[in-house]
A and B are shown apart, each in its own frame.
Chain A
Amino acid sequence: MKRNPLKGLLGALLLAFSTVSFAAIDTYAFETAVEEARYKALIDELRCPKCLNTNLSGSDSPISADLRRTVATMVQEGKGDEEIREYLLARYGDFILYRPRVMPATYVLWFGPALLFLLALAVVVRLVLRQRQVEAPAPLSPDEQAALARLSQAVGEKSKA
């Protein structure tokens, strides 16, 4: 069977960007599908303040239910995503955000991986360059070329004899 490498890549990408869907029990009536999608995206990326590592949609704690209700109400009132995040941020602090803000305290978090990647890249490039140098030795010096000529001449004469 011939495998399509693109298919594999696509599958990997789909896995990488999939989010586990949790079944929040409470349902809210939204006027549009867009509002509902925004609500779902928000409760997926906001963190339950009572739990150490669960988002609002995945948590059964009463505080998460309250916050889901708050988010739903704010979405229904026509508040923007940023406004809703700001509202919760002002009350619960940065803990509530699973996607941390870009600020000096989070620079390492945001730019550290890219820096590490560049570092790794530099190491790889250096290693590859050094490998090349080993594979392709420096051209012969004039002395060496003369010696080579002498040797090959000597070998030639021997084979004639």
Chain B
Amino acid sequence: MSRTSLFLPLGLFLLMAFMLWRGFALNDPHELPSALLNQPLPDFQKTRLADGAPVARRDLLGTPFMLNVWATWCPTCKAEHAELNRIAARYAVPLVGVNYKDDGPAARAWLARYGDPYRLSVVDQDGSLGIELGVYGAPETFIVDRDGIIRYKRVGAVDRRVWEEEIRPVLQNLGLPLEEPSA
């Protein structure tokens, strides 16, 4: 056996160590890379939660906006709701809700009780818009630009850190004036 082949086990060990390091350094395995990034927001024909009026994709476009998938059965949605209320009250960003696989009256009561940060909520009772959006766990938050292209996606709650470090910079890049309001 040649001298160099003595280093074979060491090489194998380093290779395995590298792969394990890569494997464990991956973020939360629940977080799927979004296939929809930089893809157009899918077309849909739905109704508005507040009054049942029809709402379609084209009604939302024209300005960058946040699209937030929520439901009353989703505890994390409740957890992030205060932050959404804060954002809606403080910044000039249109928030559109997708009421995902929910009960209409319960959803309206929920918004009445905890506050309604949404410009409007789209009713997705059968989850078909959810499938078009690749939703697999509420809450999910998308940023859509003025042309209807999805520029950002987050699965899980939006909190202060996510807003400041991820969502706000993306929205500002898209041209929304999000200066800190003067106190």
Are A and B part of the same complex? yes
A contacts, CB < 8 Å to B: 49-50, 52, 62-63, 66-67, 70, 89-95
Is B154 in contact with chain A by the CB < 8 A criterion?
A: no
Cβ of A62: which chain B residues have Cβ within 8 Å of it? Answer: 101, 127
From 107 to 133 in chain B, residues with beta carbon under 8 angstroms from any chain A beta carbon are 126-127, 130-133
Taking residues whose C-beta sits less than 8 angstroms from the other chain, chain B's interface range is: 10 to 19
B contacts, CB < 8 Å to A: 29-30, 32-36, 39, 101, 126-127, 130-137
- Contact with A91, one of B33, B36, B126, B137 (Cβ below 8 angstroms): B36
A68 to B119, CA, bound (A): 33
Cβ of A95: which chain B residues have Cβ within 8 Å of it? Answer: 32-33
Cβ of B35: which chain A residues have Cβ within 8 Å of it? Answer: 89-94
Given contacts A89-B35, A91-B131, contact A49 B136 (CB under 8 A): yes
Interchain CB contact under 8 A, A66 and B137: no
Cβ of A50: which chain B residues have Cβ within 8 Å of it? Answer: 136-137
- Contact with A70, one of B29, B30, B32, B131 (Cβ below 8 angstroms): B131
Given contacts A52-B29, A70-B131, A91-B131, contact A63 B34 (CB under 8 A): no
A70 to B30, CA, bound (A): 22
- Contact with B34, one of A70, A89, A93 (Cβ below 8 angstroms): A93
Interchain CB contact under 8 A, B30 and A93: no
CB nearest neighbor in B for A93: B35
Between A and B, 8 residue pairs with Cβ closer than 8 Å are A49-B134, A52-B29, A62-B127, A63-B135, A66-B130, A90-B39, A91-B36, A93-B35
Cβ of A90: which chain B residues have Cβ within 8 Å of it? Answer: 35-36, 39
Cβ of A63: which chain B residues have Cβ within 8 Å of it? Answer: 127, 130, 135-137
B27 to chain A, nearest CB (A): 13
Interchain CB contact under 8 A, A66 and B32: no
A110 to B126, CA, bound (A): 38
A66 to B34, CA, bound (A): 19
Cβ of B36: which chain A residues have Cβ within 8 Å of it? Answer: 90-91
